[in-house]
Every structure is written in structure tokens, then in C-alpha cells.
Amino acid sequence: MDAEREALQSAACPQVQTFCQKHGLTFEVVDLRWGIQNTEATDHMTTEICLEELDRCRKTSIGPAFVALVGDQYGPCPVPSVIEEKEWEALRAQLTTRPRDLELVARRFRRDENSVPPTYVLQATGGREAPGPEEATLTSVLRSGAQEAWRRGLISQEQWHRHHRSVIEWEIERGLLGSVAGEQGATVFLREIQDLNKHILEDGALKMVDRLADGCLDTDAQNLLRDLKGRITDTHPGVLKTHRLPWSRDLVNPKNKAHARYLRELGEQFVARADHQVLKHLRELELARQDLAWLYQEIRHHLWQSAEATGTFCGRRELLAQLGQRLRRDDSQPHGPVVLFGPPGVGKSALMCKLAEQMPGLLGHKTVTVLRLLGTSQMSSDACSLLKSLCFQVCLAFGLPPPPPQVLEAQARVAQLLRGLLHTVSRRNFESLVLLLDSVDDLDSVRGSRRIPWLPLRCPPKVHLILSACSGQRGALDTVRRTVADPEAYWEVRPLSGNQGQEMIQLLLVAARRTLSPTQRDLLWASLPDCGHPGRLRLAFEEARKWASFTVPVPLASTAEEATHQLCARLEQTHGQLLVAHVLGYIVSSRHGLSEAELKDVLSLDDEVLQVVYRDWTPPSKELLRFPPLLWVRLRRDLGHCLARRPADGLTLLGIAHVAPQPLWFSDTVANQRKLKELPHHLLHSGRLEELKQEVLGSMSWICCRGISGGIESLLDDFDMCVPHVDSPEVGLVREALQLCRPALELRGLGITAMAWSLEEKLLVVGTQDGLVAVWDMEEQQVVHILTGHTGEVRCVKVFAEGILAISASKDHTLRVWNLLSGQEKFSIWDGGSKNSTEPQIWNLHVDETNKIMYSTSGSKIHAWSLETAELVFRILGDGADPWVSTAVLPSQTRLLTVSRGGEVTLWNSATGSLQGKHRLSSIKEEAPTCAVSVQTQGKVVTGFSDGSVSLVSPGGDRLLEKLPEAVGFLVVSEDESLLAAGFGRSVRIFLADSQGFHRFMTNDLEHEDVVETAVFGAENNLIVTGSRDALIQVWSLSEQGTLLDVLEGVGAPASLLVRGGALVASASQQSSSFKVWDLTCTQRPRALAPFLDRTGLTAVSHNGSYIYFPKIGDKNKVTIWDVAEGEEQDSLDTSNEVKCLEVAEQAQLLFAGLVSGIVLVFPLNSRQDVMCIPPPEARKAINCMSLSKNEDRLAIAYDNIVLVLDISPGDPCPVIDGPTYTFYTQLPETIACVAVLTDYRVVYGMTNGDLFLYECANSKVFPLEAHRSQVTCVEVSHQEQLAVSGSEEALLCLWELEACKWKFKMSYTSSFCRGVQCACFSKDDKFVYVGLKDRSIIVWSVLDGTLLAVQFVHAVVNRIIPTSNGFIAPTRHGYLIRERFHCPSLRASQEDPLKNFKKAVWMVKSRQREELAAAAETPQDLTSQSAQGNKSRSNKHSQVCLLV
């Protein structure tokens, strides 16, 4: 069946493999007869291996597990390798009358008394040559003896059958006829040759049937084959697929049309049958998942592993007794986990299994024991899956409802759920629960981590947690110690004694039904003097179990290292030095190990291995050169327990594989996890760093696939592994960007409403809109707990008890106190309020640790609760008609002070809640309070009001501090209460404390471009950080009278929260799930290149980027001149009015400043003396925009609906600007948004509604151009003034032919992040258009054909783009100047996809010429590119698109 086997391997199997990959499965072909000589395929050892592999396929496959190809040959019958003693005696009794036959059998079989009971073992002939006459004689003798013994009833029919079965029948019996699984996963392809009996004696036919040694037909074999086919047909007709071929003298020949059709049909049937079996089983698995069959399977797996481990357990009696006493003592009180530790292989797993077995006797017969041998199953290899299975098993065991699906999505939520379940079980106070987690080292999330955030640190009564961890360099013990600090939790597992070691080996021998002779036992004990290390004992047992009673063994190694060398030497002697070295080398060099399919694929690509394998015979196929699977299976069998096995990435081996390409996605939902996990490791350690940067770390396709399938943690792990070895700033930037976006991914979709620091524990507590409280470890930069319980928005969070405890208040009217280290809820309090209340409410918390009281304000109620018992101390009910707007606790005066909306101040005793007095505000009239802050050192409250008043309120009265221009938005005080900040509108005013209260600290206020939302002082009062609605955060120096030090970009939403912890400041927004943490010490350090501090976007550039001009921060009546090289302000220009726009004439060295007043000031850049003034056409008409012609001889000034065109003429000492040459009105209700002017007095202008016009001033003619669908954001003219480009808010660019007044190309670019076009310009040679987009990217279009040439994400919006001789410069909103060179892809070796790293970006180009040609042919069409997500036809190497410097 060689032709059939090759056809399936080369054509059918790859199709099934592709199908399986799309369903997250692997497809492995286990064909042990492929690629080896016939002598190896039929020897007795190969038969045993084939049957073992068949059982393995049956056990592991969820699809096709057994495929048989049956023709007209029954095949040879192998000689039994082992004959039991009773059967041997029966056979020998039949041969007593035939001395020569008896002598042959006695010579070929030797008695092995080490087997229990004794057996007779077949002795190998010592060579691989074809079976000779002696082998045939031996087979005949045994068959005749068995026939006679069976006839006399001395042996069973099954024993008789062992001497008459061929290899084929053995396999079909095991895989189908005698299998418990029956037809499931089995298929038999039967080939019948028509009229074969008529030609049976011809030479061609004899090749197809069984023959005797003399060449005659073997009729016995043909009869047995006929019986076998009949049994298959009668018992399992559904698996039989029959193919009938016409007679031919040749064997199956693919060149024969009939035979080729047969092979094609065979492959199609194979593919259809395999796909059907896979789908059927997947449907069954899906149903099983719904009824928790996966959980039962997981439990059975660990119980089976445990039973195997405890079967040979010995010793440890004293340790078991001590652990039992500890568990019984802790059963009635809260306690910590128990940790067993010791070096690898010392017996921790066996001890854990024994503990699980003894739990009912220790804690009661109703004790629920949950055991996980971590890393031995898919569900126990990662923390999230482990916690999920634990939760389900606990719920199942105690009759609790199963966990809701939404809780199982995030690891922190599952961990919190498990803690809640432990407390629920404890409160039942009936059954005990014991969780045993063996080998936490084998959890992916533990290796290399600083702590184990999901691990419960305190167990309630009746609940026990027992862990085991390895000590040593590669162990996780240090990680566990950092998590579980109690030294009494740790119990060391020591090696066994010498006697216990001997007892263990004796138990292993009994379990394997083996024994040793006295001489062999003495040799074994001599090789292991006082050895009690179970791992070393296991190695010794694996060697000793192979000894027959007639074997003269060599002394065993005395150390584990020597034993490993001894094992390798034996393997090299048996399998060849090169094969053993390469196999073990591949396994060790892989990151987490290789699957068997992967290993065979690698070996099939190893030329050195293939040369050795096929040195003595020709491979069976010229097209398909594969490593013979039998050679690997033999080696794997001899490696035995030395080969560790662990699940990886959900791979289920099907029993059938082929070298195939490795895509990132097998289907839309199934990722290639093995490639994602292994490729970075191998590229890094093989030195292929450039490929690592381009195809992995710098590929958005890779980043998206890895992040979606494995989460942000696995993606960051890859970067952490590679970044130290890759010299690339870009890779570092990508890693930092991923690190910064981690909070948004952890809390995605949830606005942040409250934050607080735990400085002592370096934790940040974050409250969200949907009631979650997340605890972030700022050293590890990851979530350690997600605290659930609140059902409404979290309004306040306070941290106390030296950073260990936190209290949160929610709109659901509950307060919850949390332990930040364990993640457990200490207690919950309901304040009695209605969740649906519509009355105006405020939420405020104050913790008085001295008096052990916490105060909460909700609506018109104040509650005081005991911090220790959560009991209510007192409740104060206010007036619902005049609710409190601010509440302050003044512990130094034992008072509570409230201010109501109507201006009433009320005092209460903070210890008893009794009323102490009331008075109305005297300094404020007809203003409502808006905010307040308490000043504990003064015993007063500073209150802000709706009309800008700031009042100092004390128990004895009130005093007006300041009258601000607008309503007070917020009030904050410094940590030592010496400084006060009041926010109003776009400004913040700073006050300094004095004996009377506060007085103004600085002359100037701190100004933002938008309304200021919040502020926080630095640790040393030398800084203040402010946040505004435009998502910007500004850092000011108070020691330098309000100098702006830095402008930081927030989370893309109004900066409504700022909290400081030491030198760190966290910023967040109620409209975003992200938060950022800033280090204030960095803002005070000198920078290598300081950014220019502009956020208006009104920048102009001169001297090829050496100087930048922008409105001065805090004083828009001035223009700052920024020296880029020095990184500092060089000078400033006074404009006496707010600046609206800026333009620079580079050649004429002029700066044009358009003002709100309508005036344009012209500053010579080389002189500060002669400032020219261009008056407006109408008084107080603000300028919208300006433009210079490319030759700098025309200036256009645009107002709402008026355009002035002026001439710029050369002059001395500076150019001359004459009065307006032309003035025209648009006569439109919309206003002008942008303008461009040409030397010939033509003007292109765009409107706010998207209209676009070309106006000829000389002829007073206007030409409407096709309108955009939204506001035109930029208009630019080419340097030859033949073309123009316009951009709009919907990211549409139009390239215009100005002579024809028609568009040449329409280029639209959309992505999930794109917000439109910001600016554009032509290259110096007019071949390209550079475009800055509001999604913080720069793109390059070809003017020739509209092709998108490059896309680059620059992390900031660019204000404008100025072309240079070989690229462009662009100032950004972050205050940096980008300088880039651009090389067109057409000049490089290959064309590339510029959207490779923009997965959800689509670009489309419409060409007028093509549309007109298509219309003429009546086949209109668009030149439309494909989505970057779907277009995979071109290679993706970003470095070949453009060179960025």
C-alpha cells in the first residue's frame, strides 16, 4: 500500500491539518511503517510499539484515531517476544518428540526469573538482515506446537491466536474489533483488485498476495485475510470504505488513469471522513462543556495522577503527623497557607497526593479535598484557568450556584470570587475544605513574578490552603516568600533515609511486576549508598527494571549527573549519537518544550539527521522526505520518565502531521499559540535580531494577535525578554506604549471616579463607574486585586492603617472596608439610603484613626461608624429642602461642620453627633456653595461659591478671602496646609497661609486653554500639577512664581482626577478607563532636548526648523521665539492683542501675526525695530487664517467672509507690503476656514461647511469646486502652482488640477482612530503630498497615481508640515519638531503594504481619468485598495516602505 500511503501523506493530510488548525487542533500522522525497511516494520519490537502508539492515539485523539489500509496481503506473523511460563511448558510438552525443534526454541528463548511470574524472552538475532530460514522455521514450530496445545486444551484460544495473527490483524483487533471505543474515530479502506483469482499464479499477481518461502501462494494467510475482512464487514460495516480496481500487472501506479482516479477518491474520502469525525466530536465536547463534563475530566485526571503517585509512597510518617496536627489546630480559627518546599525531585508531589488521601481521616469524613498537580493538564497550567476550575469545583461540592460568566473573564475577578467562596464555605461551619496546589513553579504567571496576586493570604476557619514550591535558583520559592511572609507557614521536605529509599524501589518493582536477583539487588544497593532522593531513586529503578535474571548489569551511577550521562550513553548506543544529540538539543533549546508533531517536523528539515537515517536505503518518496516516526517513538520509549510532559496552548494530538506554513491565525478566532510563544524566543537566541524587530516586535499584526489571544501580560513578557538584547529605541517605545495602555485594558470601558495611594505598600486604589475597586501594584505595574461588591459608582476611596486597609463609598449607599494585601473584604455597611433616590447628594469620607471612627456623608445624612466593629456610632439627619453642599470633620475641636446650599453653617459634636450650634454665612450673599476643603491646622473650612467668592468658615464665623472672576470649581490644600489652590474657569489662583487664614501668593494666575478641573500640590510645595478639560496636565513651579515646567498629555479625556503619592501623581478621567502615573522628579530634571510649551497649534517655523514661533503660555498677547537647538525661549514679541494665526516668509525673513482685533503685525526676523501693521477692512474683525504664495510675493488674509490679497515687494532694509491689491467678499453665510494664494492672484478657500472655491481676483470670477462633506481643515498649493490639495474633517483629501478646476484624485483614509486631516503640503518636487492626520499619524501620497506610499504613527498631532529638500519637518502638539527624510518605495527593491501596522485602516483612491474611461466603456469602477486587515498578498516589511531618520 505504498502508493496509497504516499498519496494520503502528500495530498490528503495537509487538507485535514488545515481544517483542524482552524478549530484550534493539531493533526499528527503516526505511520510507523513509513520510511523504514520491511525488516524493521515486522519485527516483534515494532509490533509492540505500534500497538502502544495505537492505544495512545485512541486515548488522546478527538477525531480520527485509527486508519487501516487493507489490500490482498495478510502480512507476516511476528514471533511473540515474551511467552508466559505456563504457556511455555505447554508448548515444550508438544515438542518433546521433535528434539531439533525443541532445541531451536530453547536456544531462541531464555527464562527471565525477574518477571513476576517468570517468562521466556525472545532473544534477538543481532542484525537487521531479512528473516532467514531459521526465523521461518521458528514461526512454524511455535504455530504447530500452539495448534496441538490448543487442541488438547492446554492453552486458550487467545494464546493460540497470538501465534497465528499477522501484524495487520493485531492492529485491527486493537484499533477496531477489540476496542472499547468501537467505531469511534476508526476507518478501514479496503482495496479489492477485480479478477485477481484468475491471474493469481502470474508473476505480477504474486507481488500483491502472501507467498511462502519457496515462492508459492500462502493459502493459510489468504484464508486468514478472508476471515479478517469478513469480521470487519459483519461487525463494523460503517467504517468500511471499499475501492475496486481493474486488474493490472503493475501495482498501484499513479500514472495509470484508473489508479490515479482511485488515489484521488481515496484522498477525498479520507479528508471527508476525518473532517466529519472531528466536527462530531467537537459538538459532543461543546455539549459536555455546558454540563461541566470538562470539570469532571479535570478532576479525574488529577485523581488518577494522585493514585499513581501514592501507590509507591513510603516514609514521611513524622512529617505527615506534624502537618496533620497543624491542620487540626487551624481548622477552628483564621490562619495562613501552608507551604511545602524542597529541591526538585525530592518527593513533594507524592507527599501532596498522600496528604489529599489522608484528609478525610484528619479533618472528618465529609472533608472536601481539591487537588491540583499544576502543569499536568491544560486547566492547571495558567492561573486564570486554575482559579476557574477551583471555583466551579467548590461550587459543585458545596451545592452553590456556579460562577456567572462575566466574572470569569478577568483573573483578578476570578481570584476575588474564589476568596468569597472560601468565606461562604467557612460560614457554613460544617464541612472542611482543603485546597492542595502542587508545584506552583509550573504556573506560567508565577515564573519570574515578584508576587502571586491571586493567592489568598488568610484562610477562614474550616478552609485550608496547602502549596508546594521548589527551592533553588529555578524554583518559585522566593516568589512565594514575598507573598506569604509568615515563616511558620513553611515546611521543608527532606530526602528519604537509606532504608526508605530501598523500600521505595521495592514498591516500584512490585508495581511493575518485577524483581531482582540477590546479586543484582546487592549491586543496586551498593550503587545507592544512603540515597534518599526520590528523583535519583526513580532513575535507578528505570535502569534496574530492564535487567533480566540472566543479565549481568554494570554498576549504576552514584549521582544524578552520572546517571544522566549513563542514560545518554545507552541511548546513543541504541539509537545513534547524532539522532540522540539533535533530539535532546531541540527539546532543550525550545522555550517551553516541543510537541511531538513539531519535533518530527524539525527532524524532517534536519539534513544531517536525514542523511544518517537514509544512509543504507532509499526514502519511500522522492517528493515527501520525512523523518521516520518509528525512530522517534523508539527513542521516546527508551527516554521514559526522563521526558517531561505538559500541556501547552490547548494542543490536542490527533494521532496523524505534515510540515505546513505557520500563520498567525488559523481562522478568525483561533490563533497559532505555538508560533506566538516560541518564535520570539528562538529569533532572539539565534541572533536573528533584525527579523525579530521587523516580524515580531515591530509588527502590528503580531502585536494584535498576541494581545488578543494571550492578553497584555503575555505580550509584555515577550517585550521584557527581548528589549534588553535589542538595540532599538523604537522597540523600547512600543514596549512603553503597551505598558502605559495596560490599565485601560484591565479596566476597559469603565470610567474612573476615585483614586487613592497606599504609599507604604506602593499600591494605587482605583474606583470605577460600575462599582469595581481595582488595586494596582505600582512596582509590578499590574492589577493585584479587583474588589467586587459595590453595585453603584464608587464615589470615594480612602486608604488608612499604614496603607493596608481602604474604605470605599458608593452610590449604592454601601461602605466597604478592604484589606489591600489579601484583597478580602473586612466588612460592608449599608447607610440605609435608597438606591433610586433623586435628591441632590454628596459623597464624602473621613477616617479618624485616633478615635477609631469613620464618617460618611451621603445626601442629607451623616453617619459615624466604628472602625473596629462597623457598628453605628450616631446618625445625623439634615434638611432635605436645604441639603448640605460641604461637610468637614475637625478632630482637633471634636466637631463636624456642614455648609448647606442656602448658606447655613451647622456645628455638631463629632463624638456624639449632638447639635452644638447654627449660624448663617455673613460674608456671602445670594451665592451657593460649590466646593470646600478643610484646614485641620486652623480648624477651619475654606468654601468656594457660585459667583467666585472664597470664604474662610470657622465655628465662630466666616470671612471673605477672595473674590474670583468666575465660579469656584475646586479647592485643594497642600499636605502641610500652608498653600491653597482655587480653580475657576481656565485659571488657578494660589494662596499662602497666614495667621488670618490665607492671602494671595502670586500676582499671576496659572492659566489653561480650557476649564481647569483639578489640581494637586507637590511633596515639597515647590510644584503644583493642574488638569483641564482639554485632557492636558500642566506642571508649574511655585518656587519660580508660576513658571510652566511641563505640559503632559492625559488619557484623551477631561483630566478630572489627580492624586499624589510621594513623587508620583496619578491622573484619570471619569470619561476614560485609562489612568497615567507621572514621576514629578522627572519634570524638574534638565532634559537633553526641552520641548517648546505650546498647545494652541498656532506654530510657525523659520530657518529650516531652527526657530519656532507660538503664542506665549499664559499671555496670548505675546509670541514666543523658541530656539530648538538650545531648547529654550530666545525672545518674545509683544502683539498687544491675542494671536489667532502665524505665518513665516522664509526667504523674506518676515513673521506675520494675525490678531483677534483683525490687525496683522509683520515682524522682520532679523530686526526688532521696524514692525509693520496691516489694518483690518472692518473694525474689530478677527482674522481666521493667512497664506503666503510659494514665491512669497503674495499674502492672503481671510476673515469670516472677506479676503484681502496683498503684494510683497523687495525693499531695503526689509520688504515692502503695499495696501490690499484685491479685496473680495464670499457672500456666503458660512465662514472661511482656510485659504491659499497663488502668484497670479488666484485664491483657493475652504468653508466651515465643506464648500471649496477658486477665485480669480483679476477677473472677479469664482469657480465652485466639488465640496467636502465636512469642514475644510487645510488648503495647500503645489510649488509649480498647477495643483492644490484640500483636506477635511472626514479624512478626505482631494488633489485638484487648478487650470481645469477639477479633481484629479480623491484620497480617503479611514481607520478606527482617525478624526480627520490636520495639515498637508507638497514635497519640493511636487511628487508627493505629506499629510498630518488627527489620529497622530503622518501619511504620504503619490501625486502621480494617488498611491498611499507610507503611514507612520508619530504619537502626537502635527500642527503643520513644511517640506525640505529630501523630506519634511513638522512641529507637534507635544512640543517637539519632527525631521524626516522620505525615500519613495519605487526606488527600493520591493513594493510593500504601508498599512501593515494599521489593522483596521482602509484607504481608497478615486481617479477621475479612470472613472471617465470606465464610463466610456459603460463599466464604472473605482480604483479601490483592499483593507489592510484582509490584504495579505504583499509582504510586510515597514523598513522597505520609507526610511525615517
Q: What angle do CA 415, 419, 424 make, to 5 degrees?
A: 140
Q: Is 174 helix (H, G, I), strand (E, B) or coil?
A: helix
Distance CA 21, CA 15 (A): 10
What's the CA angle centered on 1403, arms 1399 and 1404, to 5 degrees? 150
Q: What is the pLDDT of residues 1145-1177, one digit of tens each?
A: 998 889 999 999 999 999 998 876 678 899 888
DSSP characters for 196-225? TGGGTTSHHHHTTS-B-TTSSB-HHHHHHH
Rounded mean pLDDT, 832-848 = 68
Task: Note the pLDDT of residue 1438.
Answer: 29
What pLDDT score does 1013 carry? 93
pLDDT for the residue numbered 406: 61
Q: Alpha-carbon distance 650 to 653, whole Å?
A: 10
Average pLDDT over residues 55-65: 80
Dist. CA 867–CA 1179, nearest whole Å = 68
Distance CA 919, CA 905 (A): 5
Share of the chain above pLDDT 90, in %: 24
Percentage of the chain surpassing pLDDT 70? 87
Helix (H/G/I), strand (E/B), else coil: 1133: strand
- Asked which of 653-662, 825-834, 1250-1259 is least confident by mean pLDDT, the reply is 653-662
Q: Residue 554 has what DSSP assignment? A: P
What pLDDT does 40 receive? 55
pLDDT at residue 37 in the model:
59
Whether omega for the bond prior to residue 80 falls within 30 degrees of 0, making it cis, is no
Q: How confident is the model at residue 1436 (pLDDT cuts 50, 70, 90)?
A: very low
Closest CA to 582 of 553, 556, 610: 610
- The region of weakest confidence among 230-234, 748-752, 844-848, 974-978 is 748-752
| pLDDT for 1433 beyond 60 | no
pLDDT of residue 357: 92
Least confident of 155-164, 409-418, 964-973, 1296-1305: 409-418
Q: Using 50, 70 and 90 to split pLDDT, how confident is the model at 43?
A: low
What b/e readout covers 1117-1143, taking b as 16+ CB neighbours within 10 angstroms? Answer: ebbbbbebeeeeeeeebebebebbbbb
Residue 18 has pLDDT above 60, yes or no: yes
At 872-885, the pLDDT tens digits run 999 988 887 788 88
Q: Which tens digits make up the pLDDT trace of 738-797?
A: 877 766 565 555 689 999 998 877 899 999 988 888 888 887 777 888 888 888 889 999
User: Of 242-246, 472-476, 505-509, where does mean pLDDT reach its minimum?
Assistant: 472-476
What would the pLDDT profile of 922-975 be if each residue is shown by its tens digit? 888 888 899 999 998 888 999 999 999 999 998 888 999 999 999 999 999 999
Which three cell numbers mark 24?
484550534
Q: How far apart are CA 1128 and CA 1363, in angstroms?
A: 24
Cis peptide, bond prior to residue 1177, ω within 30 of zero: no
For the stretch 1313-1360, pLDDT in tens is: 556 899 999 999 999 999 999 878 899 999 988 888 888 888 778 989
> pLDDT tens digit string along 1270-1320?
999 999 999 999 999 999 988 888 999 999 999 898 888 665 455 689 999
Backbone angles phi, psi at 1219, to 5 degrees: -60, 170
Q: Which distant-in-sequence residues (6+ apart) come within 8 Å of 811 by Cβ? A: 792, 793, 795, 835, 843
Q: Is the pLDDT of residue 574 over 80?
A: yes
Helix or strand (DSSP H, E) at 589: helix 577-589
CA dist 962 and 592 (Å) reads: 67
Cell of 640: 521514559
> What are the pLDDT digits (tens) for 1387-1414?
444 445 555 544 445 667 777 777 777 6
Q: What are phi and psi of 1150, to 5 degrees?
A: -125, 145
* Contact between residue 778 and residue 763 where contact means Cβ atoms under 8 Å apart: yes
Q: Provide the edge-to-edge strand list for the sheet that holds 119-122.
A: 82-84, 119-122, 109-112
Confidence band, pLDDT 50/70/90 cuts, at residue 1057? very high
pLDDT in the model for residue 993 = 92
Q: What pLDDT is attached to residue 1398? A: 47
- Mean pLDDT, all residues of the chain: 82
Would you say residue 270 has pLDDT above 80?
yes
Q: Which stretch of 53-62, 713-722, 1021-1030, 1281-1290 has the lowest confidence by average pLDDT?
A: 53-62
Pick from 493, 566, 573, 569: which is nearest to 533 by CA? Answer: 493
- Identify the pLDDT of residue 22: 83
pLDDT in tens, 1062-1103: 889 999 998 888 888 888 887 666 555 667 877 678 899 998
**Lowest mean pLDDT segment, chosen from 707-716, 914-923, 1307-1316:** 1307-1316
The answer to whether 205 touches 211, Cβ cutoff 8 Å, is no
**Is residue 493 a contact partner of residue 347, using CB atoms and an 8 Å limit?**
yes
Residue 1265: phi and psi, rounded to 5, are: -100, 160
The answer to whether the pTM exceeds 0.75 is no
Nearest to 971, CA basis, from 899, 1037, 915: 899
